[in-house]
Amino acid sequence: MKSSTHPRKHQPIPTSNPLWSSNSPAPAPAKRASVAVSRAHKLTAAKRAVQEQPATAVKPTMRYPLATTMVKPALEWKPFFSCLIDTVAVLIDVEHKSLRKIAQNNPNITWNGNYQLEVHSPLFAKIKARVFSREKGGKLMIEASLPKFLTGQNIVGLEELFEPCKQLIFAVLEQMRIEPTEAERRKIHRGKFEMKRVDHALHCDCATPERAAAVMAAIRSLMYAKAKDPGSYGDETVYAGQHSNRWTFRIYRKDFEIKKRGRGLPANVYCRDYLTAKVQNCARMELVLRAPELKRLGLNDPLAWNVEAARQRMQVWIDRLSTAGGVVPNIEHLSDLTSTQQMKLLLWLSGHRTAFTNSRSTFVATRKTILAKTGIDIRGEPSVELQRRAMQTIREVLLQGTGFKSYAHKWAALCEGADAGDANGNK
């Protein structure tokens, strides 16, 4: 094909381009006049606009309304505190028949071999204490969750050991239809029995499911990195010293445990619904001291138990766990959002301004949803205060969510139990 014989016409170089101004001919006088008039008009219009603005300077927060008020601010949140003695094992002097004969025609006992019985709680038949015969019928070892056997729950209770143990011993003996002699009764009242196991428990209220899951995941990583004999069942239960015959520390989700089949609170537990609600999103820490460790510490004598010393041992573990790295979401109702919205919101709070800007229509709808459910406005850039309140370190969660508190003032009401209609009585 023949190329065109006509020469190519080159486009003129724009005269407004400053790079080429030195090589360009001067504009016509008429054009210069129109440009000057246009520039003068723009300058005067800008000045008039400035004069019409208010004297107060426009703040960034006025241009981008950033909601730093959450639905339920973390500063106003009051965590649930509870510390108590849970499972105990006591060895008492009491002469008794063979366990087989004791179990015969006794509806309060489930037969479980020649050396072990399961004794039903007087208030809740599904809750049992394990009873073992020792020294050819001269001693009995009783192992049970002290608060659960006596009150039907082990969410709140006492940190004292001696008096509750006596209460447990006599309740079990009554269910077994064993009448101790006067000398045996005096021994029990004087604390002449031996502790073989003591579980000291403390709750950490994490406030939200996301925070509880993040805390458990961080602690699991820490345990496997630094603890002796670590173990776990997913992120639900984590151990240190899992197979030790001296002591074991474990932390687990208490709210998950009471939802399992057969582990829920009986209907006639005092303040059942209140306690169940309070323990939601709680991680429970338990320090289990077994016979060799109790003997080494001199705590196999029930009268030697010291509440402050027990708290100090638990505090050591709180301090160790608070070294776990990472941050957790501290946003109320975060779980009401979709998983994508949750991820983007956490990215936005971390400083990613473009987390929501993929589509204008999507942004508008998402902004309304997040604002309605969390109280956070995702326009503009998150403030430092909002970031601080929306994200916390693992250490902050542990320190804020744990506190030593027992419920001696409610113990009598808890032991008496309540009818089903009064299970939500005074808190």
- The per-residue pLDDT for range 303-317, each reduced to its tens digit, is 999 999 999 999 999
Q: What DSSP element (H or E) covers 371?
A: helix 360-374
Q: What does the pLDDT average to over 26-50?
A: 51
Q: What does the pLDDT average to over 225-242?
A: 93
87: pLDDT confidence band, cut at 50, 70 and 90?
A: very high
Enumerate residues 6+ apart whose C-beta is below 8 A from 137.
Answer: 95, 96, 97, 98
**Confidence (pLDDT) at 41:** 53
The secondary structure of 196-229, three-state, reads EEEEEEEEEECCCHHHHHHHHHHHHHHHHHHCCC
**Confidence (pLDDT) at 113:** 72
- The more confident residue out of 46 and 193 is 193
286: pLDDT confidence band, cut at 50, 70 and 90?
A: very high
Question: 151-160, 218-227, 361-370, 383-392: which has the minimum mean pLDDT?
Answer: 383-392
* pLDDT at residue 353 is higher than 60: yes
- The more confident residue out of 337 and 129 is 129
Q: Which of 89, 135, 142, 96 is nearest to 119 (CA)?
A: 142
The secondary structure of 34-100, three-state, reads HHHHHHHHHHHHHHHHHHHCCCCCCCHHHHCCCCCCCCCCHHHCCCCCCEEEEEEEEEEECCCCCHH
197: pLDDT confidence band, cut at 50, 70 and 90?
A: very high
CA–CA separation, 236 vs 156, rounded Å? 21
**Confidence (pLDDT) at 380:** 77
Q: What is the DSSP string of 393-408?
A: EHHHHHHHHB-----G
* pLDDT at residue 126 is higher than 50: yes
**Confidence (pLDDT) at 39:** 56
Q: What angle do CA 287, 173, 296 make, to 5 degrees?
A: 30
Q: What is the mean pLDDT of the chain?
A: 83
Q: What does the pLDDT average to over 183-204?
A: 97
Enumerate residues 6+ apart whose C-beta is below 8 A from 237.
Answer: 250, 251, 252, 253
**Confidence (pLDDT) at 74:** 45
**Confidence (pLDDT) at 373:** 87
- The per-residue pLDDT for range 363-404, each reduced to its tens digit, is 888 889 999 888 888 887 888 888 877 888 999 999 999 999
* pLDDT at residue 426 is higher than 50: yes
- The more confident residue out of 300 and 425 is 300
**Confidence (pLDDT) at 242:** 93
Q: Which amino acid is at 116?
A: Q
Q: Which residue has the tokens 């170089």?
A: 13
* pLDDT at residue 43 is higher than 80: no
Q: How many helices (H) and strands (E) does the chain have?
A: 16, 12
Q: What angle do CA 122, 128, 129 make, to 5 degrees?
A: 100
- The more confident residue out of 49 and 385 is 385
Phi first, then psi: what are they for 101, rounded to 5°?
-70, -35
Q: What does the pLDDT average to over 268-290?
A: 95
Q: What does the pLDDT average to over 133-145?
A: 94
Enumerate residues 6+ apart whose C-beta is below 8 A from 83.
Answer: 159, 200, 201, 202, 203, 311, 314, 403, 404, 405, 406
Q: What does the pLDDT average to over 152-174?
A: 96
Enumerate residues 6+ apart whose C-beta is below 8 A from 232.
Answer: 220, 223, 224, 238, 239
* pLDDT at residue 100 is higher than 70: yes
**Confidence (pLDDT) at 140:** 96
CA–CA separation, 134 vs 98, rounded Å? 11
Q: What does the pLDDT average to over 14-34?
A: 48
CA–CA separation, 326 vs 319, rounded Å? 16
CA–CA separation, 398 vs 381, rounded Å? 29
115: pLDDT confidence band, cut at 50, 70 and 90?
A: confident
**Confidence (pLDDT) at 427:** 59
